[in-house]
């Protein structure tokens, strides 16, 4: 087995790696050790509605893929309320989002915006570590907002708390998902960081993983996001040390995921919304993926979507 002693973690991608994705993954694929759930925003008031927590309902989670819920917010009192609700569901570990780059989030001091305000970040880390106990609260960050200097500045504060781990996506918020990951900046953070460190960003192939893990041998925790959505066999392939993609298993996984989406969706329109979001990632994995994606985008019903897919030969790119 390749890569012994490492952990592969499913990244939170809101609207993509939610409950149904995780269920279908576990039913058909392997290779992931755990998952971080897409963020749940803190709420005002003393109670969290059950609907808010539906995606992390423990009864619905697939066995074999331990889940860590994630919170986004900036108010320590609201964080405590949310952590209380998550603990009541049985979660011992929770992650804090300090990386969401969307301007409407970051401008309000949440997500990556939390990095700007040292006092607010410190208050959130203190509340989280106090509510969950040492080693149970974690943080997911970017390098900074406009440049890569902010995270190194905040590192002494961050690692003054007994966090479970620090997950770094080495882009700035300004970059959104464009440009390249800044591996020099990640190396500087890794050098200075005493907390268990998770690398996250642009691992799309086994080759990417091998290059990155050779460059950062001390990093044992690796988070896979868009690369795993585009190629659901990615974690398996990293474990096996070879490409394990298989079209029959892909089709079985996809049919299962489609059924799960359909069970939740009030109609074809909502279902196609989910499927098209998924296929925006999946299409480049296939030869002639652009042509397939163009055809899928035009479909208006579940039947049409399934017909286009069934008629497509599907060959790996
Ligand atoms: C559509 C989308 C939704 C995302 N939602 C979240 C989220 O809820 N919480 C979070 O911490 N990061 C979120 N991210 C960021 C990813 O977790 C990850 O950090 C980023 O995609 C880089 O990793 P990758 O190159 O492996 O995808 C999201 C990214 C995308 C593209």
Residue identifier of the C-alpha nearest atom 1 of ligand 1 = 13
% of the chain residues with pLDDT over 70: 99
Looking at the predicted structure, is the pLDDT value of residue 1 above 70?
no
Q: Where are the domains of the chain?
A: 7-240, 247-311
What residue's CA is closest to ligand 1, atom 29?
13
What is the pLDDT, as a whole number, of residue 2? 53
Of the candidate CATH numbers 3.20.20.70, 3.40.50.720, 3.30.465.10, 3.90.870.30, the domain formed by 7-240 belongs to 3.20.20.70
Q: In terms of pTM, does the model score above 0.95?
A: yes
**Nearest CA owner, ligand 1 atom 26:** 225
Confidence of residue 144 (pLDDT cuts 50, 70, 90): very high
- What sign for the dihedral angle of Cα 265, 270, 276, 278? negative
> Is the Cβ atom of 174 under 6 angstroms away from ligand 1?
no
| Residue 239 Cβ < 6 Å to ligand 1 | no
Atom 30 (ligand 1) nearest CA: 13
Mean pLDDT of the chain: 97
CA 139 to CA 146: how far, in whole Å? 19
Q: What is the pLDDT of residues 49-83, one digit of tens each?
A: 999 999 999 999 999 999 999 999 999 999 999 99
Q: Which atom of ligand 1 is nearest to the CA of 16?
A: 1
| Residue 39 CA, closest ligand 1 atom number | 8
> What is the pLDDT, as a whole number, of residue 259?
97
Reported confidence tier of residue 248, pLDDT bands at 50, 70, 90? very high
- Ligand 1 closest atom vs CA 37: 8
**What confidence tens digit (pLDDT) does each residue in 299-317 have?**
999 999 999 999 998 999 9
Residue 114: per-residue pLDDT:
98
> Ligand 1 mean position to 307 CA, how many Å?
31
| pLDDT single digits (tens) 159-203 | 999 999 999 999 999 999 999 999 999 999 999 999 999 999 999
Q: Is the CB of 200 under 6 A from ligand 1?
A: yes
Q: Is the CB of 296 within 6 Å of ligand 1?
A: no
Q: Residue 3: its pLDDT value, please?
A: 61
Ligand 1 touching residue 225 (CB < 6 A): yes
Convert the pLDDT of each residue in 251-302 to its tens digit: 999 999 999 999 999 999 999 999 999 999 999 999 999 999 999 999 999 9
């Amino acid at each position: 087995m390749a890569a012994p002693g490492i952990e592969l973690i499913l990244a939170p991608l809101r609207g993509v790696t939610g409950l149904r994705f995780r269920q279908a993954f576990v039913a058909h694929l392997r290779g992931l050790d755990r998952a971080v759930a897409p963020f749940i925003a803190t709420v005002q008031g003393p109670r969290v509605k059950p609907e808010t927590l539906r995606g992390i309902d423990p009864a619905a989670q697939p066995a074999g893929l331990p889940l860590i819920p994630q919170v986004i917010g900036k108010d320590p009192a609201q964080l405590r309320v949310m952590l209380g609700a998550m603990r009541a569901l049985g979660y011992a570990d929770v992650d804090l989002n300090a990386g969401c780059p969307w301007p409407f989030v970051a401008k309000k001091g949440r997500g990556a915006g939390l990095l700007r305000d040292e006092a607010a970040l410190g208050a959130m880390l203190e509340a989280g570590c106090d509510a969950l106990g040492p080693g149970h609260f974690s943080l997911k960050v970017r390098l900074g907002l406009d440049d890569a200097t902010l995270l190194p500045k905040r590192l002494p504060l961050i690692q003054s708390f007994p966090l479970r781990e620090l997950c770094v996506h080495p882009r700035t918020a300004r970059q959104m998902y464009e440009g390249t990951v800044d591996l020099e900046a990640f190396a500087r953070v890794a050098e200075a960081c005493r907390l268990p460190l998770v690398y996250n960003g642009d691992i799309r192939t086994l080759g990417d993983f091998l290059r990155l893990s050779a460059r950062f041998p001390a990093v044992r925790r690796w988070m896979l996001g868009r690369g795993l959505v585009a190629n659901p066999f990615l974690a398996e392939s990293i474990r096996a040390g070879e490409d394990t993609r298989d079209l029959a298993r892909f089709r079985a996984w996809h049919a299962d995921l489609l059924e799960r989406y359909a069970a939740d969706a009030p109609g074809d329109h909502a279902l196609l919304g989910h499927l098209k979001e998924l296929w925006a990632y999946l299409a480049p994995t296939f030869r002639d993926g652009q042509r397939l994606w163009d055809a899928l985008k035009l479909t208006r019903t579940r039947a049409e979507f399934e017909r286009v897919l069934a008629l497509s030969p599907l060959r790996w790119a």
